[in-house]
Amino acid sequence: MCRQTSLGDLYGYLLKRPKSSSQLDQIHAQIIVSGLHQDNSLIMKLIISLMACGKQMIASLIFNQVEYPNVLWTSMIRGYSCYGHFRESILLYARMRHQHLCPNNFSFPFVLKSCAGLKALSEGEQIHADVVKLGFVSDVFVQTSVLDMYVKCSRIETAKQVFDGMTVKNVVSWTAIIAGYCRHGFLDMAQELFHDMPVRNVVTWNALIDGLAQFGDIERARWYFDHMPEKNTVSWTIMIGGYSRAGDVANARLLFDKMIDKEVVAWTVMISCYVQNGKPGEAIKLFHEMLRTNIMVDEVIMLALISAATQLGSLNVCAWIENCISECGFGSDIRILNAVVNMYVQCGNIEKAFNAFKKIPKKDVISYNSMITGYAHHGDANCALSLFSMMIDAKIQPNSITFTGILTACAHRGLVDEGRRYFHLMRDLGSIVPKMEHYACMVDLLGRAGFIDEAHNLISSMPIRPEASIWGALLGACKIHGNLELAESIAQKLFEIEPENPGNYAILANMYVERKMWDAATRVRMMMKRRGVCKTPGSSWAEVSQLFDFGCQIRI
């Protein structure tokens, strides 16, 4: 760009929406050199372009240097909102109001979208108050945004009140409230409004079909799909997704094959359909088919594919996926990198999981949790614990899932002292209130190691009602350590809480058999028969083997 760039040239460059930030730097420099840095119209285009390529910090600096920003406030609010910086968008709106500046009809839809995105109801309500106070109640754009904000913040009744109060409604307002009812499962209300509304567009039809498909009324969804006046790719995709959720892979594929213009979303839905319905091989096959088209692979389809590989459990496929990830340039997407760690953990290859973990440049709590849990299930408590130390050193705040992993690791290896220490550390370090699974680990750990009273006391001290699995762990410990008296009282409790679980009967009966207390064993066996527990399907292998020990006939 030459130094004597005209104003027209600068507009031209900005209207082309250049993607490279170095180009934008040059344009910005040129604007300054030309003394146009207070030209709001030009700066507005620069700000939007900067936002589009993720340079919101620079956009903000430029904005702050403009003496009379006027309409630029809205540009900034819009830029933040459109590129997902919802918090910044709301904060800027607040700053604007703090300076007693008045938002315009374009500011509201964007800042309200940010509130919706964050489910920031309280902020949304304050902005709604501004809408009323500043006289935008008859603006259909603004009112529809208010309505939609309430829908997304799960305040469907308030949204309906706003809708009813609107003096002017358009197809978007009607669609927004119908989509709101669909989202919350009020399908009758949605259908009533759908039939009442004067004009419908394809978005309205799609919203209703999606609602019906989401909530399982796939046949009615199909009826609307077949009767809609015009379909777009979204309509087809919604219907395929509906069949997928209903487990109807054949119909999903039938529609997918009939689709003319398949874009990446449709491919993702079909691939996920195979994954969610236990056909990961088909998912991979379909992805290969997609690669033969001109469709661009994106992060979302890559995550669906990782899911397929995780389910498939083939290391060759995993390696191929890793290759795809680096070829596509997704190597810095933390969601993808975490999913890869999990993929190897689930496939049982802890070394490869750790290699993938090491490659994550900026690890987050999920990265650490995936790996710690991987080690825990793999029985490698030392690695799990040292990773925990690394996590603390890296200033990553552990959460309740981290401690579930740590306590599981301790329980697997019988590390009682460490388990006790981490159980207490949980509160001290992270102010984390122990949940059911933490208590379950501790009871299992203490009980197996023979600290039955301590485990029992821990259960008694629980502020939440212990689940059957907690008592089950203690019953198992009683069996290991031959504490019949406590086992009897726990078993009685379990017979009431989960009378259908054959394992509890089997443990108690086996304990009687070990002591040659035949009558007592028979009583348990009779109770089990009376309740038809033997025939309960879905027993775990541990339970089944216990039943065989007990001499009970079980049909598998």
Partner DNA sequence: TTAGGGTTAG
Q: Is 366 in the site for DNA (CB under 7 A)?
A: yes
Q: Which part of the chain contacts DNA (CB under 7 A), choosing from 187-195, 197-205, 280-288, 521-529?
A: 197-205
Residue 495: CB minimum distance to DNA, A: 26
Q: Which parts of 379-501 fold into alpha helices (H)? A: 381-393, 400-413, 416-430, 436-448, 452-460, 468-481, 484-497
Q: Is 503 in the site for DNA (CB under 7 A)?
A: no
Out of 220, 279, 335, 359, the only residue in the binding site for DNA (CB under 7 A) is 335
Out of 189, 197, 365, 527, the only residue in the binding site for DNA (CB under 7 A) is 365
Q: Which part of the chain contacts DNA (CB under 7 A), choosing from 93-101, 219-227, 299-307, 501-509?
A: 299-307
Query: In whole angstroms, how far apart are CA 422 and each of 144, 428, 448?
Result: 51, 9, 18
Q: Is 407 in the site for DNA (CB under 7 A)?
A: no
Q: Which residues contact 369 (CB under 8 A, 6 or more apart)?
A: 399, 401, 402, 405
Q: Is 89 in the site for DNA (CB under 7 A)?
A: no
Q: Is 369 in the site for DNA (CB under 7 A)?
A: yes
Whether 9 contacts 45, CB under 8 Å: no
Out of 5, 60, 404, 539, the only residue in the binding site for DNA (CB under 7 A) is 404
Q: Which is nearer to DNA, 303 or 527 (CB)?
A: 303
Which residue is it, tokens 């507009």? Answer: 11
Residues near DNA (CB under 7 A), total: 66
Give the span between the Cα atoms of 457 and 556, in whole angstroms: 38
Out of 201, 314, 355, 469, the only residue in the binding site for DNA (CB under 7 A) is 201
Whether 274 contacts 280, CB under 8 Å: yes
Residue 365: CB minimum distance to DNA, A: 5
CA angle 508, 412, 397 (to 5 degrees): 125
Out of 170, 314, 355, 536, the only residue in the binding site for DNA (CB under 7 A) is 170
Q: Is 307 in the site for DNA (CB under 7 A)?
A: yes
Q: Is 92 in the site for DNA (CB under 7 A)?
A: no
Residue type, position 200, single letter = R
Q: Residue 456 has which token pair?
A: 């029992």
Residue 416: CB minimum distance to DNA, A: 20
Q: Three-state SS across 132-178?
A: HHCCCCCCHHHHHHHHHHHHHCCCHHHHHHHHHHCCCCCHHHHHHHH
Query: In whole angstroms, how far apart are CA 43 and each of 49, 68, 92, 243?
Result: 10, 12, 17, 48
- Residue 534 is given by DSSP the state G
Q: Is 76 in the site for DNA (CB under 7 A)?
A: no
Q: Which is nearer to DNA, 103 or 241 (CB)?
A: 241
Out of 30, 75, 158, 204, the only residue in the binding site for DNA (CB under 7 A) is 204
Q: Is 435 in the site for DNA (CB under 7 A)?
A: yes
The DSSP secondary structure of 361-408, one letter per residue, reads SS--HHHHHHHHHHHHHHT-HHHHHHHHHHHHHTTPPP-HHHHHHHHH
Q: Is 141 in the site for DNA (CB under 7 A)?
A: yes
Q: Which is nearer to DNA, 187 or 401 (CB)?
A: 401
Q: Residue 264 has which token pair?
A: 């990446």
Residue 525: CB minimum distance to DNA, A: 33
Which residue is it, tokens 């309200």? Answer: 112
Q: Is 517 in the site for DNA (CB under 7 A)?
A: no
Q: Residue 554 has which token pair?
A: 């079980």
Q: Is 289 in the site for DNA (CB under 7 A)?
A: no
Contacts to DNA by CB under 7 A: 109-110, 113, 140-141, 144-145, 148, 170-173, 175-176, 179, 201-204, 206-207, 210, 232-235, 237-238, 241, 263-266, 268-269, 272, 275-276, 298-301, 303-304, 306-307, 335, 338-339, 342, 346, 365-366, 369-370, 373, 376-377, 399-401, 404-405, 408, 435, 437
